[in-house]
Structure 1
Amino acid sequence: MSPAQPLDALVIGAGPAGLAIAAALGAEGLKVVVLSPEDCRDPWPNTYGIWGDEVDALGLGHLLEHRWSYTCSYFGSGSSDSADPANSPTCHRRDYGLFDKNRLQQFWLERCEAAGVQWLRGRALELSHGSGRSQVATAAGEVLEARLVLDASGHKAVFVQRPDRGPVAGQAAYGVVGRFSAPPVEPGQFVLMDYRCDHLSPEERSEPPTFLYAMDLGQGRFFVEETSLALAAPVPYATLKQRLERRLAHRGVAIEQVEHEEFCLFPMNLPLPDLDQPVLAFGGAAAMVHPASGYLVGALLRRAPVLAAAVAARLRAEPAADSLQLAQAGWQALWPPELRRKHALYQFGLEKLMRFSEPQLRGHFASFFSLPSAQWYGFLTNTLSLGELLAAMLALFATAPWSVRWGLMGMRGREVQLGLRMLDP
């Protein structure tokens, strides 16, 4: 591609975020190129879940590979007393889905191709700005010029600048798709969180807690994943794998065939980017991972059209707008004040949960999922207004056991800063 061919937008990255925003920009009639060192059709390594109501509201339920109505969690200790009510499942009474990764990828690729989005293999190395446009130099020595550069290369973004606010906590998970000597979960069941810890020694229970995320995939196949909520530094994969194997063995289950191993690590409390920089971001690079739940794909689907529309509107209104002006229009649409306040509030809550002991976490989540369904669902999907979010958190505090309340009341670490950022985002 010749440097003499100016682009409206150059998107860095061809993962879910890159394809989502490229498709949305292309649908607005913009001239878009996606630059990525990988082929845009390379299979994605991780799985992506979403609540059924969320994907239905987008009209995209057909992109799911699996869907469960039997959804639950376990917040009891898992003691030997099976009659203990604390060890019975908490039923969520909402459908949960797992995307067909290939179908989701193809969904965005088809929209990109229909809009004339072009693809370029290469690694972005340097970014500069001049004459109202941005220039990206690649490892191959090519220079690409665009009116706007949009970085969607993930949380280790190539060009996005953000403040340093201390250690970033990561959610780590090790999982297996395969066949087992006995069903690791009940037939047709999806388990969002299983915090039962009867397979651990008393000493191990004082270590950072982990939980099981698991589902019946049908035809004798299951997906089981040991997950750490969020920690800095994250729980090592070796520890998660050992805990998963011990958890299964304690329940008389052995892994017989491994079809796929999943190693997942992503930041949960990444600071928002500098909203005054002349490069825009989307997805993990824009800190769009939900700080409380880790969800991202639903936000990509909802927010890509909003961001693309804002950039396109600025271009139409001001054809001579430079990269900084276009980026500012995008940042204002992506992170308006209310969303920034909510982001700080979620991070405020996560900061507290990272210090909770295993019994406190079990008590917290048992109280959380006893809230009205609309409240906990809206909290996890980031679809509540700021006022509704505050109301949900106050309701949680009012119903939580005192061990959890004391943990919520203490102000330590970065919580004061996060609290102030809710007032002045």
Structure 2
Amino acid sequence: MADWPDVLVLGGGPAALCIAAELHQCGVVVEGIAPEPVEAAWPNTYGIWADELTALGLEPLLEHRWTDTVSYFGSGGTVQQDQVTAHGIDYGLFDRAQLQQHWLKRAAGVRWHRDTAERVSVASSLSTVSCSSGQQRQARLVIDASGSRTPHIKRPDQGPVAGQAAYGVVGRCSKNPIEAGRFVLMDYRCDHLSDAQRSEPPTFLYAMDLGDGVFFLEETSLALAPGVPYDVLQQRLQQRLDQRGVQITEVIHEEFCLFPMNLPLPDRTQPLLAFGGAASMVHPASGYMVGALLRRGPALAQALAEALANPDLGSAALARSGWRALWPLELVLRHQLYQFGLSRLMGFDETLLRRHFATFFALPQEEWFGFLTNTLPLPRLMGVMLRLFALAPWDVRRGLVLGAAHPQPPTFAQSEG
């Protein structure tokens, strides 16, 4: 028996655990390299539309679930003047520990090495990972699932990468900051901002009632290059709450997120495979990825297991098989459409974004849901985008065709206290 595993997975987060677990379930010999224990608690929250988990039979992984799911895209006036947009689909928040345990149990028997991969080299038959500890580990295939900032994956330079930045707080408040029992996907109301701030790239509130007097409140930007600074997001959240007479009385958890929204697809001829953020799997239209991990991980693992069954295939050939399974032409073309759309929305001011999203969520539910979850076949996706364009107000259509870029780099007003 060889001294090396079939596959070495780099990383210890959701993407790494997912692909290691699915490969293990396919009978592949897997080991992992992670800088921290894979049992360590994950810092970020992960949301998902509940129907995505229903289709996978994984609804028990939800810790919270909301039926009252809404957004605000109205005129920009006071709370009383703005009309609520009801989405009509349940939204859920993962139980992070349950999700982690789901994959750890499926990966029971996988050996994890606590180390940091510094260099990956590929020979004809084997890949070698050189670690900071001085250890070298080999496998027939290496999968980089260590995140979007990995130095090991080659991708074309297409300019600055736009980030969806967010600052969030889990805590208790002096009074309810949103309606009890409600989930707010996007609140673009901006009555709390100064005129100068309204000329800056817009941000929105993403919020949920977690029960027992606890709320999750997150100020978020759609996407910007460079990303909106955390102190600006924190300031805007504070202003939003002050305008509504709400004080945070207890901070249970703070969250700082920056997701790459328009990361170019990797060079899919390289002999190193990627998964998760390293493979540009963050959805350009939403910033979400966990649903894609759950849907696409098993198929990739099965394709790799079949390729690994051929002992004559070396690292480069195995990686090519993996890239074809992970990014078939259909998904590549869909990704390009999403990135084109995002490039246009990044230049929209607050007024245009409001009108765009109000039109978007007026589409039939199955269409906007399929768009946000990347589950529409390419012809249907193109049809939805054409319908959205036809229904949009003229200034939104003009922005989608010609763009409406903000001056770059953006500047932000200083705190007003």
2:408 — aligned with what?
none
User: Does the alignment pair 1:111 with 2:125?
Assistant: no
User: Does the alignment pair 1:258 with 2:251?
Assistant: yes
1:47 Cα offset (Å): 0.3
User: Does the alignment pair 1:8 with 2:3?
Assistant: no
1:77 Cα offset (Å): 3.3
Letter in 1 for 2:363: L
User: Does the alignment pair 1:134 with 2:127?
Assistant: yes
Q: 1:170 aligns with which of 163, 169, 177?
A: 163
Q: Which stretches of structure 1, 4 residues or longer, exceed 6 Å deviation after superposition?
A: none
Q: 1:155 aligns with which of 148, 155, 169?
A: 148
Query: Within 2, Cα distance between the matches of 1:257 and 1:178?
Result: 5
Q: Is the 8 A contact 2:145 2:274 kept in 1?
A: yes
The alignment partner of 1:383 has SS state of coil
Q: 2:56 aligns with which of 49, 54, 58?
A: 58
1:423 — aligned with what?
none
The alignment partner of 1:273 has SS state of coil
User: Does the alignment pair 1:387 with 2:379?
Assistant: yes
Letter in 1 for 2:96: K
1:131 Cα offset (Å): 3.9
Letter in 1 for 2:240: R
Change beyond 3 A, Cα 1:132–1:233: same
2:96 — aligned with what?
101
The alignment partner of 2:232 has SS state of helix
Once the two structures are superposed, the pairs formed by residues 6-405 of structure 1 within 5 Å of their partners are 6-80=4-78, 82=80, 84=81, 87-113=82-108, 116-316=109-309, 318-405=310-397
Q: Is the 8 A contact 1:77 1:198 kept in 2?
A: no
Query: Within 2, Cα distance between the matches of 1:55 and 1:88?
Result: 30
Once the two structures are superposed, the pairs formed by residues 413-424 of structure 1 within 5 Å of their partners are none
Q: Is the 8 A contact 2:9 2:143 kept in 1?
A: yes
2:411 — aligned with what?
none
The alignment partner of 2:107 has SS state of helix
Query: Within 1, Cα distance between the matches of 2:13 and 2:215?
Result: 25
Letter in 2 for 1:106: Q
Deviations 1:273-307 (A, max 9, x none): 00000010000000000001011000000001111
1:308 Cα offset (Å): 0.7
Query: Within 1, Cα distance between the matches of 2:76 and 2:254?
Result: 26
Deviations 1:71-114 (A, max 9, x none): 000001341483x4xx111000000000000010011001100x
Letter in 1 for 2:155: R
Deviations 1:202-237 (A, max 9, x none): 221110100000000001000000000000011000
The alignment partner of 1:178 has SS state of strand
The alignment partner of 1:136 has SS state of strand
Deviations 1:143-167 (A, max 9, x none): 1110000000000114111111100
2:413 — aligned with what?
none
The alignment partner of 2:270 has SS state of coil
The alignment partner of 2:284 has SS state of coil
Deviations 1:22-67 (A, max 9, x none): 0011111111001001100111010000001001111110000000
Q: Is the 8 A contact 1:151 1:158 kept in 2?
A: no
Q: Is the 8 A contact 1:77 1:197 kept in 2?
A: no
1:411 Cα offset (Å): 5.5
TM-score w.r.t. the length of structure 2 is 0.95
The alignment partner of 1:380 has SS state of helix
1:412 Cα offset (Å): 8.1
Structure 2 residue ranges without an equivalent (≥5): 406-417
The alignment partner of 1:211 has SS state of strand
Q: Is the 8 A contact 1:124 1:158 kept in 2?
A: no
1:403 Cα offset (Å): 1.5
1:368 Cα offset (Å): 0.2
Letter in 1 for 2:150: A
Letter in 2 for 1:98: L
Query: Within 1, Cα distance between the matches of 2:2 and 2:27?
Result: 20
2:409 — aligned with what?
none
Query: Within 2, Cα distance between the matches of 1:259 and 1:118?
Result: 34
Query: Within 1, Cα distance between the matches of 2:403 and 2:354?
Result: 21
Equivalent residues, number: 405
The alignment partner of 2:156 has SS state of coil
Change beyond 3 A, Cα 1:320–1:51: same
1:177 Cα offset (Å): 0.2
Letter in 2 for 1:17: A
Deviations 1:358-384 (A, max 9, x none): 000000000000000000000000000
Q: Is the 8 A contact 1:134 1:148 kept in 2?
A: yes
Deviations 1:175-199 (A, max 9, x none): 0000000101101000000000011
Change beyond 3 A, Cα 1:120–1:371: same
Backbone CA RMSD of aligned residues: 1.3
Structure 1 residue ranges without an equivalent (≥5): 414-425
Letter in 2 for 1:8: D
